[in-house]
Amino acid sequence: MEGLEAVRRRPGMYVGGTDLKALHHLVYEVVDNSIDEALAGSCTRINVTIHADSSVTVEDNGRGIPVDIHPEKKISALTVVMTTLHAGGKFGGGGYKVSGGLHGVGVSAVNALSEWCEVEVKRGGLLHLQRFERGYPQGEVKVIGKAKENETGTKTTFKFDPTIFKDNLDYRFDTLTQRFREMAFVTRGVTIHFADERQNREMTFYFEGGITSFVRYLNRNRETLHPVLYAEKTLEGIGIEAAVQYTDAFTESVYSFANTINTIDGGTHMTGLRSALTRVINDYARKAGLLKDADPNFTGDDTREGLTAIVSIKHPDPQFESQTKVKLMNPEVQTYAQQVIGEGFTSFLEENPSAARAIIAKCLTSSRARDAARKARDLVIRKSALESLTLPGKLADCSERDSNKTELYIVEGDSAGGSAKQGRDRHFQAILPLRGKILNTERARLDKILGNNEVKALISALGTGIGDSFNLEGLRYGRVIIMTDADVDGSHIRTLLLTFFFRYMPALIEQAHLYIAQPPLFRVEHKRQVRYMYSDSEKDAYLKGLGADGEKISLQRYKGLGEMNPPQLWETTMDPQNRTLLQVSIEDAAEADRTFDMLMGDAVDPRRKFIQTHAKKVRNLDI
């Protein structure tokens, strides 16, 4: 029991903390054990249930945790598994533990951190039960019934200990769903059923095609260039599989897994995948004469544009960079992954010449565009260095020079720009109007946007430079405020600007310099009193409150900033005493970045749906 006391005393050492993330890891740890059974070919179904009291049941139809008496310890193997750190896969079977696991400490750590935990095992025709409280067995393993012939499995129910996981923490449906979906994708053929009895929601994940389905899922809103390529082989006991499909998108979606854990920082399996793709594409393009002698090879950047891929490995002894298991370090995996994926991809291109041509055409466009973008960017950087003293003509600057006190409003359109220029406090507020249609007319890669005059003006107004020469110290305004119309165009431009800042100036967001202005939607005048309303519901509630008192009510709906006169704009949106500003978080911006992809991609349907869905609540779009 000593180990368990240590876990309870210092949970951080064993489960990485006592926060929401650690809480979810308890569930993953238990499910991982069932996934191990599935990977061993002994389990096809896993049911996870969150009960109303936030206890969690994980049930599988695997072989069942052995219950026989352990030869040395003279106690049931089940008790050993549940109370000994690192006892995970040491019994019988001969299989190794391949799935994730918490930090290798096994289900015993979950047991130690649970108020109570009950394990039922069906094995050898009998149903067994053992109960634990804070890790301590409450009696021996008991036989409490019979199991049907050949029916085996393990059912674990635990309630996390609220004296350890404090602050009313509770599980999040979406977080768990995401993880179970990933587990089901990378464990082909297993069904994960997830029910949340707190809110009567349930989901089932089963992917016949494994990671091939995963790639199809990721590309569901994109135009693909060819069918999914799947490659798989076990080398020296290491299972390697990859699924690859190019799309006409400009971005890349590549994910890597080691023993079903999403290694978000990649590692050797990811490197193996990337180098295999680049090498095979170059070889093919040379042989087919699509790259001439004088042409340089495609770079990794060229071959990753539009790439959607999953690489998943199963390793008996995975080495991770850190306790958090986000980067795989085993050096041999790089060679094996490169070999397996290289062979698979080579034959795929040979057998599918039209796919090969489409992929290479995509790489060519990408490489040319990158070249052009590099030149444009160099130009912007060189110019912005030169122009750091010459501010853009469109900028109406403020007189204050202390950037702790200054604000830059980025305003859509010249007419709104005019109102803002007249309405502002010119002492500390600067206005930069941007011509409305940068997004729709460009419909192109973000790199190209750097060459756009509006964006160049923005970069020089900010004073930070861009790319390698970006320096937050140069920032001329402590607050950078995006002020766009409450319509679809306005939200496009906001999405574009957020994406731009997210990709090229993330520090500006992280250091809390970026904001979104909140102009009102309505002006209501009643008994010579003017009020501004910022949402439909606010307006409706106000009008209802007035009732029918016979007085005339005048209601004006603002469609654009340009409809407000300068004093109105100041009063409602720019006056620090009255206005509301939304501070943009890096998550908001990341979300905008994904939205941007969808808005810019060639798949028309999701874009139309997006616009239809958001046209009504456009004020809160992607923020």
Question: Taking a C-beta distance cutoff of 8 angstroms, is the pair 58, 46 a contact?
Answer: yes
Within 527-586, the residues that bind ligand 0RA by CB under 6 A are: none
Amino acid at 471: N
Beta strand residue intervals within 64-106, DSSP E: none
Return d(Cα 79, Cα 119) in angstroms, integer: 10
Q: Contact with ligand 0RA (CB under 6 A): which of 18, 33, 84, 419?
A: 33
Q: Contact with ligand 0RA (CB under 6 A): which of 3, 11, 66, 490?
A: 66
Q: Contact with ligand 0RA (CB under 6 A): which of 3, 62, 465, 560?
A: 62
Minimal distance in Å, beta carbon 159 to ligand 0RA? 18
Element containing residue 191 per DSSP (H, E) = strand 191-196
Q: Are strands 191-196 and 45-50 parallel, antiparallel or unpaired?
A: parallel
Rounded to 5°, the CA angle 238-346-327 comes to 40
Q: Which is nearer to ligand 0RA, 33 or 268 (CB)?
A: 33
Q: Which is nearer to ligand 0RA, 37 or 182 (CB)?
A: 37
Q: Which is nearer to ligand 0RA, 122 or 274 (CB)?
A: 122
Helices (H), 288-390: 300-304, 331-351, 353-387
Number of residues that bind ligand 0RA (CB under 6 A): 14
Here the tokens at position 241 are 């599989």
Helices (H), 113-205: 173-186
Q: Which is nearer to ligand 0RA, 33 or 495 (CB)?
A: 33
Q: Which of 323-350 are b and which e, b meaning 16 or more Cβ less than 10 Å from the residue's Cβ?
A: eebbbbebeebbebbbbbbbebbbebbe
Assess whether 412 carries a catalytic annotation: yes
* By CB under 6 A, residue 91 contacts ligand 0RA: yes
Instruction: Catalytic residue, from 489, 536, 538, 575: name it.
Output: 489
Spell out the long-range contacts of 436-440 with Cβ–Cβ below 8 A and sequence spacing 24 or more.
Answer: 436/412, 436/489, 436/493, 437/489, 438/493, 438/496, 439/492, 439/493, 439/495, 439/496, 439/599, 440/489, 440/492
Q: Which is nearer to ligand 0RA, 98 or 497 (CB)?
A: 98
* By CB under 6 A, residue 99 contacts ligand 0RA: no
Here the tokens at position 73 are 């310890």
Give me the DSSP letters along 471-495.
-GGG-S-SEEEEE--SSHHHHHHHH
Q: Are strands 522-526 and 407-412 parallel, antiparallel or unpaired?
A: unpaired
* By CB under 6 A, residue 92 contacts ligand 0RA: yes
Q: Which of 187-211 are b and which e, b meaning 16 or more Cβ less than 10 Å from the residue's Cβ?
A: bbebbbbbbbeeeeeebebebebbb
Q: Contact with ligand 0RA (CB under 6 A): which of 63, 103, 179, 327?
A: 63
Q: Are strands 529-533 and 553-557 parallel, antiparallel or unpaired?
A: unpaired
Looking at residue 562, the DSSP 8-state letter turns out to be G
Minimal distance in Å, beta carbon 184 to ligand 0RA? 16
Return d(Cα 555, Cα 557) in angstroms, integer: 7
The residue number whose beta carbon is nearest to ligand 0RA equals: 33
Minimal distance in Å, beta carbon 204 to ligand 0RA? 19
Assess whether 487 carries a catalytic annotation: yes
Instruction: Catalytic residue, from 202, 387, 400, 487: name it.
Output: 487
Q: Which is nearer to ligand 0RA, 89 or 520 (CB)?
A: 89
Minimal distance in Å, beta carbon 154 to ligand 0RA? 4
Assess whether 485 carries a catalytic annotation: yes
Q: Contact with ligand 0RA (CB under 6 A): which of 3, 29, 34, 355?
A: 34
* By CB under 6 A, residue 154 contacts ligand 0RA: yes
Instruction: Catalytic residue, from 37, 120, 412, 454: name it.
Output: 412
* By CB under 6 A, residue 93 contacts ligand 0RA: yes
* By CB under 6 A, residue 96 contacts ligand 0RA: no
Q: Contact with ligand 0RA (CB under 6 A): which of 11, 47, 55, 60?
A: 60
* By CB under 6 A, residue 106 contacts ligand 0RA: no
Minimal distance in Å, beta carbon 1 to ligand 0RA? 20
* By CB under 6 A, residue 37 contacts ligand 0RA: yes
Q: Which residues are catalytic?
A: 412, 485, 487, 489
| Contact set with ligand 0RA (CB under 6 A) | 33-34, 37, 60, 62-66, 89, 91-93, 154
